[in-house]
Structures are given as C-alpha cells and as structure tokens.
Structure 1
Amino acid sequence: MKIKVNNHILLIFGAFIMIIPFLWMVSTSLKSYGEAMQVPPTILPQEWKMSNYSSVFESVNFLKYYLNTIIVTLSRTLAQLFLCSLAAFAFARLRFPGKNIIFIAILSVLMVPPQVILIPNYAILTQLGWIDTFYALIVPGMFSAFGVFLLRQFFMGIPKELDEAATMDGCSLFGIYWKIILPNSTPALMALGIFTILASWNDFLWPLVMTNSADMRVLSVGIAAFQGQYATDYPLLMAGAVMSTIPMLIMFIFLQKHLITGIALQGVRR
C-alpha cells in the first residue's frame, strides 16, 4: 500500500512538472507586453488582458492559418489510414516475391532523419512545381513507414480463419480488407489516426521550407511570425500558441481511451 502511495505521489509531481510550461503559456497570454518582460516575472497577470486573443486575429490572418492546418491534417490522416492499411494488409495477408525485403526496406526509412532528405525532397518538389502549394504540404505525408508497421502487426493478430470463411462466401481480397480486416482493427486505426494528427498539426520544419507566401502558412509557421528580430510580443505569441493547442487537448481528452487501447493491444499481437 505504501509503495502505491509513493508511486502516485511521484506521478502527481511529474505531472505537475510537465504542466508548468502550459500554465505559464496561458498566464503570459493574459499579460501586457510590459508585464511579460518584467524582471522578476509575475506568476499571475496583474491586469488580465483578454484582448490579446482578439489582437492575434488582427495582427495576422490567423483563421487562414487554422484552415490551412485543418486541410493539411485531415488530408494526411485520411490518406495514411487508407494507404498504410492497404500496404499493411498486403504484408500481413498476401504472399509475393520479396515481401520481407520490401518490408525491411520500408522500415529502414524510420532510421533516416527527415532533415537528411529535406534538400533532395525540396529539389524534387521544385521540379514538379509544387512549392508553396497544398501538394507539397500533403502528398509527401500521405504515407508512413511507422503506420505500415503498426497496422501490419495488428492485422497479423486477426485470425486468418475469418479470411478463409469470407473467401468461401465469394468475398474478394479487397472485400476481405474492407469488410473483415478494417472493422476488426478500429483500435489500431484510431491510434494511427491520433499519431498522424498530432504529427501533422505540430509539423513546423516541412511547412516552413515548402511554403513562401502568407496564404499557405500553417499554424506552426504562422505563430512563428510573431517572433521579431529585435523584440518579440510574447503575450500575442502565447495567445496564438494557446489557441493552436486547444484542438489537440480536446482531441486527447476525448480519444485518449482509444489511443491507450490501440497501443496496449500492440503488445499482445505477434
């Protein structure tokens, strides 16, 4: 009993340490510029300036950044769920020459840092004429080696007897994938969807390099526009950061059960 109490105290302390940056961000977003730059800093604002949030929309085209981010995030997520599940179904259920070699080659992509292939990708997209378009923001993120691996491991745990029964009933390969595999893989699909949404929503380096105009900016790049060369308006910067964080917090609050279930089930799949 004592050990459990100590563990809970340790976890509560760790959670408090992790939430301090977020609380400081909210507090700073409600301060005036002078108070935000005050030394020593104040924990709570002396004068609560809710106008900082409206000033964000007046300073930059924040709604446009939000819309661009939603379009990119939804497009990447839906494409990954479909394409990665198709590839995972092939590796988990089909037999074809070089299957293991191709799968290892796909997994090897996980060992390559994205920064290494950034310049070659930029050169390719420049030749395609996709720079500063949604094509550059969406198409390269439509497939994920991690997604293929995650779903393949889950698909392999689904009994093959279901496939055989469906085949005897005249079901095609795509029918097995669509009517048998996907309905039984909801936890894994939810986990991949959440991971993809988080990665796409928080992506900064790729949109920064691949876009030039303000109309194509996403939230992560748009918020960085508040950082000046000599001075930064931290209350506006933090207000924009809070508004960009809220959708992810809401998603995690309502979908954390599916995320934990999807990850936990991976540990019992062969």
Structure 2
Amino acid sequence: MTKNKRLLTIFTIACGILIVLPIFFLVISSFKAPEDVFKPNLNITKLTMENFEAVLEKNILRAIWNSLIVSTTVTVIALLFHSMSGYALSRLNFPGKNLVFGWMISTLMVPFTVIMIPLYMVTKNLGMANSYLGLIVPMIFNAYGIFLFRQFYKDFPKELEEAAYMEGLSIAGTFFRIVLPLSKPMMIPLTIGFFTANWNNYLWPLIINQKEELWVVQVALANIVGGGYETPWSVVLAAALLCAVPTFIVFFSMQKYLVEGIKTSGIK
C-alpha cells in the first residue's frame, strides 16, 4: 500500500467515525437515566428502558404511523407523476413544450416560505386542512423530480421504444411496460430522497394540521421538547431513535439497488 493510499484509508476511516459517532451517542443516551444524559460516561450497567416506556405514553407510535402513510404515499405518487411528466417532456412533441418545462424549472427558484401562505389558503379552501390529503397532496408536485427524469429519458435508448412500437404497443404501454421498469437508476435515489424529505418535513405539517392524532414525527418531537418548563431530554432522545429507525430501514434496504443504479447510470 502506497503512502497516498494509506493516508486516504486513514482519512476515510476518520470520516466514517465522525459520521457514526453521533448515532452511537444517540443510541446510548436514549437508554440513560435523565440525570446521566449529559454525562460522557458509557456505563452500560445503568441503562434503562424507562425512556422508551415514556415515549410510548406520548403516542409517538401514532406519529410514526402518520409519517409512514404520508411519506410513502407522497413518494409513490410523486415517482409515478414525475416519471410520466419527464417522459412526456423528453419524448413527446407538443406546442409549448419548452415553455412548460421552463415554467416548471422556474418554480425551483421560489422558496417554500414565499408560497407557504397562499398554499395554505388554497388547501384550506379545498377542505383539505387537518386531514391526510392536506399533508400529502401539496407535497407531491416538485419540479426537481420532473427535471431529473427528463434528463434521464433524454439519454434513454430509443431503439427499445421503437422495438416496442413495432410490436404494437402504444406510447402508454411502452412507458409502463418498457421504460418505467428500466428507470431504476433514477427511481431508487429519488425514492430515498422523497421519502427522507417528507419524513423530515416539519413546517408544512405544523401549518396545515392542528389535530394531535395527525401529528407527524417532527411535530411530535417538537412538542416533546417544548412540552413544559423542563425538557425530558432522555425521552426526546429515545423518541428520536424510534423515529430514525424507518429511515435507516429504507436506506439500507435500497442500498444495493442505489449502488447498482449509480453503476448502471455511468454506462453509456
């Protein structure tokens, strides 16, 4: 092993430790007694499950379930709509196509805080406030996914589509039976991105929903932190650990496909 490779290995290990260390302390601290949370000791003989019992009393599992419903639904519908829009903008010819695409891309320059109040007013007037629809529908539409799918389909082999047309498939049949199943290199990263973004979303669920039974994990965690004069940090850490588990499951279950997608996208 050369000196440069040795230094690179050491640097990589150090970065890995820095990334894993906060997660390690999150796990250990969630089992500590309240008086030991901020003490830098790792005495495993004093670990307790009382923090998780307190978390269950705060209905955090309901919040996790709500976040699962919202994040999964938004991810699935967004992937379908975004892929269809990206395919139409890359393959179909219709009047104003470039204008429509430019208008979609321009929305990326508008911060969410600018449209937050008008979006709330529209959603409320449609009767979707304090419901799953209010949490899900406004989060589906995003120009970022449409842009990435459009760029991906511009490099997609046209020969496969032409062969499908010769076999008698329509444009819709070609898309759903040929193109979409071969879009994993783009769908897997976007699945992780969409799911994580909606799982971590705090501002919109806080605005559109006032029902405790529809709290998502970020709102529930914020209410535990601000639930009194003294914050039960041991309970907060235990709740944060439980809320992080689904995101870890999604990432590690798709890690193999994510790596394969990156490899495949690099092959021309």
Q: TM-score range by the shorter chain?
A: over 0.9
How far apart are the structure 1 equivalents of 2:108 and 2:258?
21
Deviations 1:199-239 (A, max 9, x none): 11111111111110110101111111111342110010000
Distance 1:266 1:210, change over 3 A: farther
SS at match of 2:197: helix
Partner of 1:103: 101
Distance 1:136 1:211, change over 3 A: same
Partner of 1:53: 52
Matches within 5 A, 1:34-45: 34-36=35-37, 41-45=39-43
Partner of 1:15: 16
Report if the CA contact (8 A) 1:32-1:235 is conserved. yes
Partner of 2:193: 195
Partner of 2:207: 209
SS at match of 1:170: coil
Q: Tell me which of 145, 148, 153 is aligned to 1:147.
A: 145
Sequence identity, in percent? 36
Matches within 5 A, 1:42-121: 42-45=40-43, 47-58=46-57, 60-121=58-119
Deviations 1:45-91 (A, max 9, x none): 56101221122011x11221121111101110110111001101101
How far apart are the structure 2 equivalents of 1:190 and 1:179?
18
Distance 1:265 1:109, change over 3 A: farther
Partner of 2:127: 129
How far apart are the structure 2 equivalents of 1:205 and 1:268?
40
SS at match of 2:73: helix
Partner of 1:231: 230
TM-score (norm 1): 0.92
Deviations 1:107-152 (A, max 9, x none): 1222222122111111111212211111110001122211111111
| Amino acid corresponding to residue 130 of structure 2 in structure 1 | D
Where does the alignment leave 5 or more consecutive residues of structure 2 unmatched? none
Q: In angstroms, what is the RMSD of aligned CA positions?
A: 1.8
Partner of 1:240: 239
Instruction: Count residues with an aligned counterpart.
Output: 265
TM-score (norm 2): 0.92
Report if the CA contact (8 A) 1:194-1:259 is conserved. no
Distance 1:144 1:267, change over 3 A: farther
Distance 1:149 1:268, change over 3 A: farther
Report if the CA contact (8 A) 1:81-1:193 is conserved. yes
How far apart are the structure 1 equivalents of 2:102 and 2:265?
19
Partner of 1:218: 216
Where does structure 1 differ by over 4 angstroms across 4 or more consecutive aligned residues?
263-269
Report if the CA contact (8 A) 1:190-1:259 is conserved. yes
Where does the alignment leave 5 or more consecutive residues of structure 1 unmatched? none
